[in-house]
Amino acid sequence: MKTVQTKRKRSRPEQASKFQLTDSLEGLGVSEFLSRLASVAAFEERPEPIAWIEANRRLSPESSHEVGPYRFERVPYLREIQSTILAPGGGEIVCALASQVGKTELLLNSLLYWSALEPGPAMVITPDWKTAQSFSVDRVRPMLRDAASPAEDHELRDPRAIDSVFHMTLGSQMPLTVVHGWGASALAMRPIRYLIFDEASRLPLSAKGARSDEGDPVALAKIRTTTFGDFAKIVYTSSPVEEGACRISELYAASTRERWHSRCPHCGSLQVLRMPEMDFGDATCRCLVCGLRAGQDTWQGQKGQWCPENPGHPRRGFWLNCFASPFVRWPAVFEEWRAAVHQKEQGDYGQFRVVLHTRLAENFTTKIELMSKPETLLARREDYRAEVPDAVRLIVAGIDSQASWLEWLVAGIGPKAKSFFWTVVRSMAGWKATPRVCTGNWTRSY
Ligand SMILES: [Zn+2]
């Protein structure tokens, strides 16, 4: 114990945790006891997690194009999530995140911080054996190797895989187990203080035991945290999957439901960047308040913030799509979306689901698809009087509803799909002042 403290004193004086010092107080003289007590009191002030991570974490070439010191200014939306995960005490944190927003780095930062400052047994549960191996060998090991803390503190051998379970030691005293969600025996191995579900929505519904299914792997693993009571920390991360079968969406629904809001570079108002406001032509996003447009770097250069829909809930929940990420270029997402929609129109929904889940962080739902069925639309017709060109047989209206205005376009369809368009109308007064959409003059036709 003493050796370890001395060795690390220069780089990480906060290394000794309260638990270890308390354990070693027995048999000490009064002066030494008080000295240790004072040092414990000093250690109560843990370093601020964000600053500590930026001082100690290095991005590894195996997993990042941006090798070097980790910087939250690159991913400002992760700052609050990271602080929440590393806050003193226990609790549950739900992260419903799109791919390529920096989720794995968030987990690696957490493991490094805990190993140095508040060690405790940790377990990471992944969807399958391959992801467990990849997390252990390709992510955790390079993270330990490249951290600013002395490399000899960590066990840098390749993680041992016993019965498909990867065992590592972070620092000199923090056991980390990486296991896939199928193995019931591994999930029930030992008490866990830090429990991380990676891609929680893709974990199996039931873990396999020696003879039968053992039940929900999330429930099985959570039982292991009971020893640590209020000090246990449970982190769920995942991009969503289909509605009704999505763990992360269900967990997020019962949480503070915080969404990252970006700030308009023109008027300063806050909004979630979403697909409906995107212009594929010039790769810009429209502000919902002032109506002006800006490109990706301009939006991301402004100071955004998390806004809770359900403040005060004991479980913190964060939701983020890809449009806030500096690692994903918007035009690439638009291309993926175009291709996915094209395939969907051919009857192949595979790519559409992938883009919806991993880029937009939204559930695939069959309800939206039902709305596009002709019968559903026909059932919503109403009778009313209006003058229209003789050739028009069907009238449809598309309405874009915004926070402070409505915008709509009316189109008449004639024989041989001939189209007649009405003017785009904008109402700043909202729904109550909206006139019947089909009264007035047709100003354009094609
Ligand atoms: Zn604006």
- What is the spatial distance between Cα 96 and Cα 415, in angstroms, rounded to a whole number? 47
Residues 245 and 361 in one domain: no
- Is the pLDDT at 263 greater than 60? The verdict is yes
Question: Phi, psi at residue 350, to the nearest 5°?
Answer: -55, -55
Instruction: Output the CA 177–ligand 1 centroid distance in Å.
Output: 47
Residues 33 and 56 in one domain: no
Asked whether residue 213 is assigned to any structural domain, the reply reads: yes
Instruction: Output the CA 295–ligand 1 centroid distance in Å.
Output: 13
Residues 119 and 77 in one domain: yes
Instruction: Taking each helix axis as running N to C, give the angle between helix 103-117 and helix 49-56, from 0 to 180 degrees, rounded to the nearest 10.
Output: 100
- What is the spatial distance between Cα 169 and Cα 434, in angstroms, rounded to a whole number? 65
Instruction: Output the CA 198–ligand 1 centroid distance in Å.
Output: 36
Residues 108 and 190 in one domain: yes
- Is the pLDDT at 11 greater than 50? The verdict is no
Residues 227 and 350 in one domain: no
Q: Domain end: 223, 253, 283, which one? A: 253
Instruction: Output the CA 305–ligand 1 centroid distance in Å.
Output: 15
- The residue type of 358 is T
Lowest mean pLDDT among 38-52, 78-92, 116-130, 161-175: 38-52
CA angle 48, 325, 364 (to 5 degrees): 115
Instruction: Output the CA 61–ligand 1 centroid distance in Å.
Output: 38
Instruction: Output the CA 271–ligand 1 centroid distance in Å.
Output: 9
Residues 402 and 423 in one domain: yes
| 3-class DSSP assignment, residue 145 | helix
pLDDT in tens, 81-104: 999 999 999 999 999 999 999 999
The residue among 112 and 9 whose pLDDT is bigger is 112
Residues 31 and 54 in one domain: no
Task: State which residues have CB under 5 angstroms from ligand 1, the bound ion.
Answer: 264, 266-267, 287, 289-290
Instruction: Output the CA 290–ligand 1 centroid distance in Å.
Output: 4
- Is the pLDDT at 231 greater than 90? The verdict is yes
Q: Which residues span the domain enclosing 368?
A: 332-381
Asked whether residue 389 is assigned to any structural domain, the reply reads: yes
Instruction: Output the CA 265–ligand 1 centroid distance in Å.
Output: 7
For the entire predicted model, the pTM comes to 0.73
Q: Are 117 and 15 in contact (CB under 8 A)?
A: yes
Residues 199 and 54 in one domain: yes
Instruction: Output the CA 357–ligand 1 centroid distance in Å.
Output: 28
Instruction: Output the CA 403–ligand 1 centroid distance in Å.
Output: 12
Instruction: Output the CA 404–ligand 1 centroid distance in Å.
Output: 12
197: enclosing H helix or E strand:
strand 194-198
Instruction: Output the CA 102–ligand 1 centroid distance in Å.
Output: 27
Instruction: Output the CA 269–ligand 1 centroid distance in Å.
Output: 6
Instruction: Output the CA 298–ligand 1 centroid distance in Å.
Output: 12
Report the C-alpha dihedral over residues 230, 233, 236, 237, rounded to 10 degrees: 150
Name the percent of the chain lying above pLDDT 90: 50
Instruction: Output the CA 263–ligand 1 centroid distance in Å.
Output: 8
Residues 120 and 164 in one domain: yes
Where on the phi/psi map is residue 338: left (φ > 0), alpha (ψ -120 to 50), or beta? Answer: alpha
Instruction: Output the CA 55–ligand 1 centroid distance in Å.
Output: 36
Q: Domain end: 235, 253, 271, which one? A: 253
Average pLDDT over residues 206-214: 71
Asked whether residue 301 is assigned to any structural domain, the reply reads: no
**pLDDT, the chain, mean:** 81
CATH number assigned to the domain comprising residue 151: 3.40.50.300
Average pLDDT over residues 329-357: 93
Instruction: Output the CA 168–ligand 1 centroid distance in Å.
Output: 49
Q: Are strands 425-427 and 122-126 parallel, antiparallel or unpaired?
A: unpaired
- Residue 385 neighbours by CB distance under 10 Å: 7
Instruction: Output the CA 281–ligand 1 centroid distance in Å.
Output: 20
Asked whether residue 319 is assigned to any structural domain, the reply reads: no
Report the C-alpha dihedral over residues 245, 246, 250, 253, rounded to 10 degrees: -120
Write the DSSP symbol of residue 183: B
Instruction: Output the CA 321–ligand 1 centroid distance in Å.
Output: 20
Pick the closest to residue 193 from 222, 216, 167, 160 (CA basis). 222
pLDDT of residue 213: 72
Average pLDDT over residues 145-167: 67
Residues 125 and 190 in one domain: yes
Q: How many distinct structural domains can be found in the chain?
A: 4
Q: Are 124 and 176 in contact (CB under 8 A)?
A: yes
- What is the spatial distance between Cα 9 and Cα 16, in angstroms, rounded to a whole number? 9
Q: Give the pair of three-digit tokens for residue 40.
A: 């414990």
The residue among 188 and 69 whose pLDDT is bigger is 69
Asked whether residue 98 is assigned to any structural domain, the reply reads: yes
Asked whether residue 31 is assigned to any structural domain, the reply reads: yes
| 3-class DSSP assignment, residue 123 | strand
Pick the closest to residue 263 from 294, 227, 228, 222 (CA basis). 294
- The residue type of 114 is W
- Is the pLDDT at 430 greater than 80? The verdict is no
Residues 69 and 206 in one domain: yes
Asked whether residue 292 is assigned to any structural domain, the reply reads: no
Lowest mean pLDDT among 185-189, 334-338, 422-426: 422-426
Instruction: Output the CA 406–ligand 1 centroid distance in Å.
Output: 16
Paired residues of 46 in beta bridges: none
Pick the closest to residue 207 from 183, 178, 232 (CA basis). 183
Instruction: Output the CA 278–ligand 1 centroid distance in Å.
Output: 14
pLDDT in tens, 399-418: 777 666 677 777 777 777 66
- What is the spatial distance between Cα 413 and Cα 420, in angstroms, rounded to a whole number? 6
- Is the pLDDT at 17 greater than 60? The verdict is no
Instruction: Output the CA 94–ligand 1 centroid distance in Å.
Output: 30
Asked whether residue 220 is assigned to any structural domain, the reply reads: yes
Residues 358 and 414 in one domain: no
Instruction: Output the CA 291–ligand 1 centroid distance in Å.
Output: 6
Lowest mean pLDDT among 75-89, 135-149, 180-194, 315-329: 180-194
Q: Domain end: 253, 276, 299, which one? A: 253
pLDDT in tens, 286-316: 999 999 999 999 999 999 999 999 999 999 9
pLDDT of residue 395: 77
Instruction: Output the CA 270–ligand 1 centroid distance in Å.
Output: 8
